[in-house]
Amino acid sequence: MALCVALPVDPAPDEYQEGRPLDLQVCKSYSPNLPSRVTATISKVLSMTMSVVLDVTLQTRHGPPVHRVLKLYDRRFGSCLREVDGDRVAPHTQENEAAFEAFVRRGMMPGFLRHRHERNDPEESVLPVGAREFLDEPNRTEGLAKYEAALWQDCSEHFECETKAYHRLAKLQGTVVPRLYAHVSLLSTTKLATIMPPEVAPYFEVRGILLERIDGYCLDNLTLGPLPKNLRTWQHIIQLAADAAYEINKHGIIMEDCAPRNVVVDGKSQTPRIVDLAQCMFRDEMVSEWYKSGWHEDEDWDPELEYWEQVSTTCNPGAIAAVIANRIHRKTGAKLEFRYPDWNGIIAEIRRRKEDAAAVERKTRHKASTAAR
């Protein structure tokens, strides 16, 4: 499968039962055989935590049906997305939907989204405003509407982040990350949106992506069963997963949600793929924010060095390999050794390269100045 979870999936809602067909509008295709509209039949529910992840079968323009993974950013479902207090989940109800629809029809969404975005500005607040906070408002109906509105915003940001990440990792698709085949929209919600004024219709759409389906297993499940006496094969697979995370870092992306549960291993090749890129930081956007914050006013500051400092602090490779290594050690006493990027060496090399470039520039300016005399 192209995405797995360590815990059993909760019973699927009626909208996403196995065997149910889903009509999709293909908004952007990366596959020439994909029609503009396609029916995806649900084979299995893979996950319903932050998003709805489904194993589906669909018909292309030519050839037999193909298996894909459909990931939908649907605010109505998700045990983690809609978690409000520990293990308690606030279910989507008709009352919630009616409150949200009225809120949208009154034209409240643009102002609400701006207000929440401003409150979530790192310079204004250390802790972001979570959707669950709106459920504490005195006016129950207003609180439910804002709760659904905040979840819509979260889902929209996850879609934008993940599609952006796949676009920037185009050269790594099929090796480090799964292949992305299309951006899609769930037609059942699109039809609902058509009865709304055009300016509010997007708030009722459910967007998603079609991904490569990988037959294999989730790295998070590696230690659930009996461990083999020879751990070298697993050590190699885990090392490849850590290397894959570093490769993503080298392409200007830091994963904020990086863990063994976000790694799927192809059963045939025993090679890992990093999945779930909905929560990432991008180097160019980070640099832009640093400049806005005036970090460049420090003459010793450099954006490239700052990026790699952030990469080393987050340590995506360690978030995968070290976690699995600790589990194996607790279970067997065996200590697996992994190669991690030499962060200090990487940063030192960047400094050296920049110092050499600065020296060449000074020498060139000196020659030009001397020649002009």
Q: Which amino acid is at 11?
A: P
* Residue 206 located in a structural domain: yes
Task: Look up residue 152 and give its two tokens.
Answer: 């819509």
Neighbours of 46 (CB within 10 A): 21
Cα–Cα distance for residue pair 184/29, rounded to 1 Å: 8
Which of 192, 212, 232 is where one domain is finished?
212
Is residue 208 classed as helix, strand or coil in its secondary structure?
Answer: strand
* Residue 205 located in a structural domain: yes
Which of 197, 212, 227 is where one domain is finished?
212
User: What stretch of H or E contains 329?
Assistant: helix 316-332
Is residue 4 classed as helix, strand or coil in its secondary structure?
Answer: coil
* Residue 61 located in a structural domain: yes
What is the percent of the chain with per-residue pLDDT over 90, rounded to a whole number? Answer: 68
What pTM did the predictor assign? 0.90
Q: Is the domain of 205 the same as that of 267?
A: no
Annotate 8-46 with DSSP letters as a single string.
PPPPPPGGG-TT-EEEEEEEEES-TT--SEEEEEEEEEE
Is a pLDDT exceeding 80 seen at residue 66?
Answer: yes
* Residue 23 located in a structural domain: yes
* Of the candidates 78, 95, 87, 88, the residue with the CA atom closest to the CA atom of residue 152: 78
Residue-number span of the structural domain to which 165 is assigned: 14-92+152-212
Confidence of residue 3 (pLDDT cuts 50, 70, 90): very low
The residue-averaged pLDDT of 330-346 equals 92
Cα–Cα distance for residue pair 265/45, rounded to 1 Å: 18
The residue-averaged pLDDT of 183-211 equals 83
Cα–Cα distance for residue pair 135/119, rounded to 1 Å: 17
Cα–Cα distance for residue pair 317/258, rounded to 1 Å: 8
* Residue 142 located in a structural domain: no
Which of 164, 181, 212 is where one domain is finished?
212
Tokens 């060449």 locate to: 360
Q: Is the domain of 312 the same as that of 199?
A: no
pLDDT tens, residue by residue, 108-149: 999 999 999 888 776 655 667 899 999 999 999 999 999 999
CB 232 within 8 A of CB 225: no
Look at 88 and 277; give whichever has higher pLDDT.
277
Rounded to the nearest integer, the mean pLDDT of the chain is 89
Q: Is the domain of 175 the same as that of 324?
A: no
Is a pLDDT exceeding 80 seen at residue 228?
Answer: no
The pLDDT assigned to 123 comes to 61
CATH number, domain at 333? Answer: 1.10.510
CA angle 125, 131, 136 (to 5 degrees): 95
Q: Is the domain of 327 the same as that of 289?
A: yes
Question: What strands, in cross-sheet order, belong to the sheet with 263-266?
Answer: 216-218, 263-266, 272-274
Q: Is the domain of 197 the same as that of 239?
A: no
Q: Is the domain of 69 the same as that of 187?
A: yes
Look at 65 and 87; give whichever has higher pLDDT.
65
Q: Is the domain of 288 the same as that of 322?
A: yes
Q: Which amino acid is at 159?
A: F
User: What stretch of H or E contains 83?
Assistant: strand 83-85
The residue-averaged pLDDT of 77-83 equals 93
* Of the candidates 368, 366, 314, 362, the residue with the CA atom closest to the CA atom of residue 341: 314
Look at 264 and 12; give whichever has higher pLDDT.
264
The residue-averaged pLDDT of 8-31 equals 84
Cα–Cα distance for residue pair 204/75, rounded to 1 Å: 10
Q: Is the domain of 243 the same as that of 336?
A: yes
Residue 360: φ, ψ to 5°: -65, -40
Q: Is the domain of 240 the same as that of 322?
A: yes
The residue-averaged pLDDT of 14-24 equals 93
* Residue 357 located in a structural domain: no
pLDDT tens, residue by residue, 267-314: 999 999 999 999 999 999 999 999 998 998 888 899 999 999 999 999
Question: Rg of the chain over CA atoms, in angstroms?
Answer: 24
Task: Look up residue 298 and give its two tokens.
Answer: 């420090």
Is residue 52 classed as helix, strand or coil in its secondary structure?
Answer: strand
Look at 198 and 20; give whichever has higher pLDDT.
20
The pLDDT assigned to 10 comes to 52
Confidence of residue 9 (pLDDT cuts 50, 70, 90): very low
Q: Is the domain of 220 the same as that of 294?
A: yes
CB 139 within 8 A of CB 187: no
The tally of domains found in the chain comes to 2
Q: Which amino acid is at 370?
A: T
Bridge partners (DSSP) listed for residue 54: 45, 70
CA angle 10, 130, 50 (to 5 degrees): 30
pLDDT tens, residue by residue, 143-177: 999 999 999 999 999 999 999 999 999 999 999 99
Cα–Cα distance for residue pair 350/302, rounded to 1 Å: 10
Q: Is the domain of 76 the same as that of 196?
A: yes
Look at 263 and 373; give whichever has higher pLDDT.
263
Confidence of residue 63 (pLDDT cuts 50, 70, 90): confident
Q: Is the domain of 169 the same as that of 291?
A: no
CB 242 within 8 A of CB 219: no
